[in-house]
Amino acid sequence: MAKTTVAELASRLEQLQAQIAEMAHHIETLEKAKSGGHVTNGRGAVAVMPAPAAAEPGISEEELLAVAAAIGAFLGVRAHIRQIRLVSSTAWAVEGRVSIQASHRLQG
């Protein structure tokens, strides 16, 4: 296993802090946009952003922001979420049972 130096850890920590600051700014922008406020883009330009469309009744705003942040962190870019649906299904349970039953050796 390769050893990690203190300088590498410090560099990585700075990168993470920058990402957290960027995400905090993004959340602040979303909150201002939701309230119909004016939002600056960091270059002095001001835009009035419309309030986002209502999410599905089963998804809270906090959950929607968490999903957006997770997708952004994973992809490394801001993604546009078009739809989020809560899916309630027993398909995973059925698939698990099929997998377990298929792994058993039949005697006959």
| 86-100: average pLDDT | 80
Question: 106 or 94: which carries more pLDDT confidence?
Answer: 94
pLDDT at residue 92 in the model: 79
Structure tokens at 25: 């700014």
Over 70: is that where the pLDDT of 29 sits? yes
pLDDT at residue 38 in the model: 54
pLDDT at residue 78 in the model: 82
- Within 8 A by CB and 6+ apart from 48, the residues are 36, 37, 38, 39
**What angle (nearest 5°) sits at the alpha carbon of residue 37, between those of residues 71 and 15?**
35
* 16-24 long-range contacts, CB within 8 A, separation 24+: 19/73, 23/69, 23/72, 23/73
Over 60: is that where the pLDDT of 48 sits? no
pTM > 0.85: no
Average pLDDT, the chain: 76
Which segments of 1-108 are extended strands (E)? 38-40, 46-48
